[in-house]
């Protein structure tokens, strides 16, 4: 069994249940202390003989059980349902994400690369029916094939960092060539629909020719939407391998500190060559919203038929028991039945009479 809202089940519900249990325990203790302050314990026991401690506990248990069931229902428990063949209309999109060391710069919080990951997570959350492929690049490029499983796509870059790239540098041209090849292999022979490359980078390329790669994409009708991340003024690049006492920032071969600037001119040229567009991400602006607006204007085609397993909702199995538990709690009295109530013994004065 899985949940549509797992955080509600695994985080919120335990806190609510624990809070209710603790609240009832403290309330019973508070009542006991209050009773002792009013008189002697034997006398108070006689005065409260009509009250049933077991019923108080049962009422508390019903409230806790009802709240747990209702919260479980809100988390939407699901089981695998029936599989069916489905055709979805969408785009083919390849996201090329820069993992060069310059993306460690912190002129965009918390860093360029982490901000890019957040932008991509947000992008995938808004897509429906589109196939997405991924290219992670520095000096070389690594690819993840096109898929409509967005959760699997997110896992590809979630723990990836510039330190894990086998070859340093920034080769935007190689990334564009790899992305173009991925789209070319899945391009339909007839009635082709829009194919897109979303390039997230600071634009600095010292190892390839991105203009040539952009022209190759343009000949196939592939648009490049370039998303520039960073500041125009530049930022020093942290050294991830720095040891204590060593310089905290990267240095070039001449011994000077590396100052990484956003190369907007290059990114704008790439976008213009492919009839795409350029967007900039900075601390005050998000690029994903504008990319999504641009994608909405493109022609979507009918994707290949695929097997879809629709989840079967199970929330009703918890909703109704939770509701009835709360109804029973409100109808349950905390007093004993008359024949079970303790009868106080006659006073000595009454026997003497």
Mind listing the pLDDT tens digit for each residue in 28-44?
Answer: 788 777 766 665 556 55
Domains annotated on the chain, with CATH:
2-81+313-352 (no CATH), 88-304 (3.40.50.410)
Nearest in space to 64 (alpha carbons), one of 332, 334, 325, 333: 325
CA atoms within 13 A on the CB side of 298: 27
With beta carbons less than 8 A apart as the criterion, state whether 120 and 97 touch.
yes
pLDDT at 352: 46
Q: In sequence order, what DSSP letters do the residues of 84-95 get, joined into one string? A: EEE--EE-EEEE
For residue 129, the SS3 value is: coil
Residues whose CB is less than 8 angstroms from the CB of residue 262 and which lie 6 or more positions away in sequence, other chains included: 202, 203, 228, 229, 230, 231, 232, 234, 280
Cα 287 from Cα 264, distance rounded (Å): 14
Cα separation values, 209 from 31, 214, 285, Å: 79, 9, 28
The pTM score is: 0.62
Cα 161 from Cα 163, distance rounded (Å): 5
For 338, the token pair is: 């008359």
pLDDT in tens, 125-147: 888 878 899 999 998 888 999 98
Cα 201 from Cα 226, distance rounded (Å): 8
At residue 350 the predicted structure's pLDDT band, cuts being 50, 70 and 90, is very low
At residue 157 the predicted structure's pLDDT band, cuts being 50, 70 and 90, is confident
At residue 94 the predicted structure's pLDDT band, cuts being 50, 70 and 90, is very high
pLDDT at 338: 53
User: Which 8-state DSSP code applies to residue 315?
Assistant: T
How many helices (H) does the chain have, and how many strands (E)? 12, 13
pLDDT at 45: 59
Report residue 258 CA to chain centroid gap.
34
Cα 77 from Cα 38, distance rounded (Å): 49
Average pLDDT of 272-279?
94
Residue that the structure tokens 């009839």 belong to = 275
Residue count of the chain: 353
Phi-psi region of 76 (alpha: psi -120 to 50; beta: other; left: phi over 0): left
């Amino acid at each position: 069994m899985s949940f549509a809202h797992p955080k509600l089940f695994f985080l919120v519900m335990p806190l609510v249940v624990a809070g209710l249990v603790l609240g009832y325990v403290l309330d019973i203790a508070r009542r006991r202390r209050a009773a002792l302050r009013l008189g002697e314990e034997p006398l108070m026991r006689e005065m409260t003989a009509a009250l049933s401690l077991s019923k108080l506990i049962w009422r508390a248990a019903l409230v806790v059980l009802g709240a747990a069931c209702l919260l479980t229902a809100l988390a939407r428990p699901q089981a695998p349902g029936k599989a069916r063949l489905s055709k979805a209309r969408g785009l083919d999109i390849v996201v090329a994400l820069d993992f060069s060391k310059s993306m460690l710069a912190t002129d965009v919080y918390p860093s360029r690369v982490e901000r890019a990951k957040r932008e991509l997570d947000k992008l995938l959350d808004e897509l429906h029916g589109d196939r997405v492929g991924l290219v992670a690049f520095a000096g070389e490029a690594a690819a993840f094939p096109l898929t409509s499983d967005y959760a699997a796509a997110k896992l590809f870059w979630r723990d990836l960092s510039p330190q894990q790239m086998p070859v340093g540098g920034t080769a935007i041209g190689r990334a564009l060539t790899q992305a173009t090849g991925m789209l070319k292999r899945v391009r339909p022979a007839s009635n082709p629909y829009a194919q897109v490359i979303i390039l997230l980078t600071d634009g600095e390329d010292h190892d390839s020719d991105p203009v040539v790669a952009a022209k190759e994409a343009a000949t196939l009708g592939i648009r490049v939407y370039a998303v520039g991340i960073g500041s125009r003024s530049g930022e020093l690049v942290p050294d991830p391998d720095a040891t204590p006492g060593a310089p905290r920032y990267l240095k070039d071969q001449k011994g000077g500190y590396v100052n990484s600037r956003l190369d907007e001119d290059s990114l704008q040229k790439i976008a213009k060559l492919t009839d795409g567009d350029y967007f900039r991400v900075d601390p005050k602006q998000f690029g994903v919203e504008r990319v999504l607006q641009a994608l909405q204007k493109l022609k979507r085609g009918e994707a290949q038929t695929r097997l879809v397993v629709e989840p079967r909702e199970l929330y009703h199995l918890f909703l109704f028991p939770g509701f009835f538990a709360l109804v029973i709690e409100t109808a349950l009295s905390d007093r004993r039945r008359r024949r079970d109530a303790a009868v106080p013994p006659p006073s000595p004065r009454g026997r003497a009479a």
